[in-house]
Structure 1
Amino acid sequence: MHPDGVALVQLGARQHPPRLLNTHFESCAPQDRPAVLRQTVRALHLNGAPCVCVLAPGMAGVLRVEAPDVPPDEIRAAVRWRVKDMLEFHVDDAVLDVFDVPGQKVRGPGRVMYVVAARRALVEAQIEAVHGAGLQLTAIDIPEMAQRNVAAALPDDAGGVAMLSLGARAGLITLTQGGTLYLARSLEFGYADLNAAERGTAAREQLVLEVQRSLDYYESHFSQPPIGSSVLAPTEEAVDGLAEAMGDGLAVPVRGLALDELVAADQAPPARDQARCLAALGGALRSEARVL
């Protein structure tokens, strides 16, 4: 689900790299997403196809908590008590998922893990929308993990990737290595702020600072080599000179994301559509199969 509508990506099965068969974006209000998804599935003849649904930004929160010292089969129950005062809604109304972060320098007490929390009613509405469209739901994912999937498919993954995606007024930084998500940070500004005449320079400086802070946190908290590269996802509107500005301010090389690193396509979609469909592409690249 895109903040401004519905984005859909279809990949060919059992191919490496996977073949890009369809990308589609339809702008709509949030309440119209189920109907638009249903119409899109019908138009593209996708009834019965397997589907990973990626929640729109803000539908779920990613919380960092101290890992409870309990057996694995008791982690979810222990975490539920840990996060109950961190949520904006009652914990009984929440759907929670957890994922560990390996390679931390801290052992025992103080070790952290990530908790994904979403309102149960919201998740159930997304499940109903997918089923109502005639798709076979295999998993529900979040933007942070979808972006992880994209980074994990890059040749840079073995050396570590700092990936940046920007919406109009928000953004997301993820740090991954070897297919593992180590850090995800949301930004409260986006490409519209970087392009604004009155504060574009300050916003670009702030962006470089936020990426550098993320890299510093990674190096200080995880027993891993430094991140090897920074990759910029396409944006719906071009931000001239962004890669160069970030390259000047960071100690890692910075480059743009090339679609042909991820999929085979007869013709690459325009950068605007690539940006709109990035999370959907990450969902399609997912290898795990689990619903929240």
Structure 2
Amino acid sequence: MALFARAKKREGLLATAWTNEGVCAALVQLRTGDKPQVKAVLWHAGAKLAAAPAPAMEKLNKEMQAASYRCSTLLGAADYQLLSLEAPNVPAEELKTAVGWRLKDMLDFPLADATIDVFDIPPDQNAPVRGQSVFAVAARNAAVAQRQGNYAAAKIALSVIDIPEMAQRNIAALLETPGRGLAMLSFDGDGGLLTVNFNTELYLSRRIDVKLTQLAEGSDDQKQQYYDKITLELQRSFDHFDRQFHFINVIKLILAPTGTDGLHGYLADNLYMPVEVLDLSAVFDLAGLAPLQDAVGQARFFLTLGAALRQEAAAP
């Protein structure tokens, strides 16, 4: 019997996201038969925190007791590439290596500088021949090492390095209608992110080159151009999705909080499917936390909260 047992982590996952404006942190506890509860959130403003993260990590540890929880962090859009491709016909233990070689000419950085991960895109269960596709994540080693180093320097254990697509998938999964597809669209400092879920799995991801600040601060003429661009990209993406995944009926588009006016009405008037605006209180128990009581705050923490929904067995 061990004389000194390792301290058990508290319930909940503490997720962080490093943005161009600062660092978001959110602690979420999952509850059986009830909404996930947001236990705490933290915003540490500062455009240069990625280069000098120590103050943010110190604040994270002091105000949220980060060392007491399982912790995850989200990569930024520039830190990785997510690509879909046909699964190589190789044994499972060789899959990542085989996918890596297929990605060699598809990446905008050298394969030697990438950490590769792979997850399935489930096929049509009723198809006579089931072709298997996968998503491949190629993360820049430098970005991964930087996040690991930030946490190690602060003596905080880092359990997971995640990507925004999976964070958004987690929130969309709580809003799905069984047996139907659900599209979700969000915006932040990296631009727009469109995902499509089916049976809680991610089937489509598209980036849209329109940032949240552009939607919030652009002139009326500029906003009209952004709305047109977004709508065209959505229409093209849904047409492509219908051809590739004809067995999935996408019944609506959920627009994540933006804190801006105009986009919802424009999309509702120009898309063939219903468009709804998400209030995060429909998904989470926000516990009266002030930063999450308006759409601006919800937009800031949206992906961080999604990352904190990740379910996995806690480390012993």
Fold match, TM over 0.5? yes
Deviations 1:97-144 (A, max 9, x none): 0112112579577x5322101121220211222233343322111011
Alpha-carbon distance, 1:151 to partner: 0.6
Q: Contact 2:82/2:136 (CA < 8 Å) preserved in 1? A: yes
Alpha-carbon offset, residue 68 of structure 1 = 1.1
Match among 218, 227, 252 for residue 229 of structure 1: 252
Contact 1:168–1:193 (Cα < 8 Å) also in 2 = no
Structure 2 residue 183 is the aligned partner of structure 1 residue 162: yes
Partner in structure 2 of residue 36 of structure 1? 56
The alignment yields a C-alpha RMSD, in angstroms, of: 2.3
Equivalent pair of 1:170/1:187 in contact (CA under 8 Å) = yes
Match of 1:64 in 2: 84
Secondary structure (helix, strand or coil) at the match of 1:70 reads: coil
CA distance in 2: counterparts of 1:223 and 1:190, whole angstroms: 31
Equivalent position of 2:26 in the other structure = 9
Match of 1:249 among 261, 264, 270: 270
Separation in structure 1 between the aligned mates of residue 129 and residue 208 of structure 2, nearest angstrom: 29
Letter in 1 for 2:245: F
CA distance in 1, matches of 2:105, 2:173: 33
Which residue of structure 2 lines up, in the alignment, with residue 285 of structure 1? Answer: 309
**Structure 1's 264 and 108: CA in aligned 2 closer, same or farther, altered over 3 A?**
closer
Residue matched to 2:11: none
Match of 2:138 among 96, 106, 117: 117
Within-5 A mapping of 1:250-269: 250-267=271-288, 269=292
The equivalent of 2:221 in structure 1 is 198
1:271 partner letter = A
Q: Which of 206, 212, 233 is 1:210 aligned to?
A: 233
- C-alpha distance in 1 between matches for 2:18 and 2:190: 14
SS of equivalent to 1:136: coil
Give the paired residue count: 287
Separation (CA, whole Å) in 2 of partners of 1:147 and 1:34: 28
Partner of 1:277, secondary structure, is helix
How many Å separate the matches in 1 of 2:182 and 2:30? 26
Overall identity of the aligned pairs, in %: 33
Are residues 122 and 157 of structure 1, via their aligned partners in 2, closer, same or farther at CA, if it must alter by over 3 Å? farther
Distance in 1 of aligned mates of 2:26 and 2:190:
23
What per-residue deviation string (whole Å, max 9, x for no partner) do you get for residues 230-279 of structure 1? 111112x41x2221211111121111112122211232513222111111
Does structure 2 conserve the Cα–Cα contact (< 8 Å) formed by 1:63 and 1:115?
yes
2:40 aligned to which of 11, 22, 25: 22
Q: Which moved more, 1:191-200 or 1:134-143?
A: 191-200
Q: Give the gaps of 5 or more residues in structure 2.
A: 1-16
Query: Matched residues in 2 for 1:138 and 1:154: separation?
Result: 26
Shift of 1:34: 4.3
> Taking structure 1 as the reference length, what is the TM-score of the superposition?
0.89
Check the 8 A contact 1:41/1:134 in 2, yes or no: no
Following superposition, the deviation at residue 169 of structure 1 comes to: 6.3
Select the structure of larger CA radius of gyration: 2
Shift of 1:213: 1.7
**CA offsets per residue over residues 50-97 of structure 1, 9 Å max, x none?**
112111221111122232122222211111111122223322221000
With normalisation by structure 2, the TM-score equals 0.83
CA distance 1:247–1:289, change in 2 (3 Å) = farther
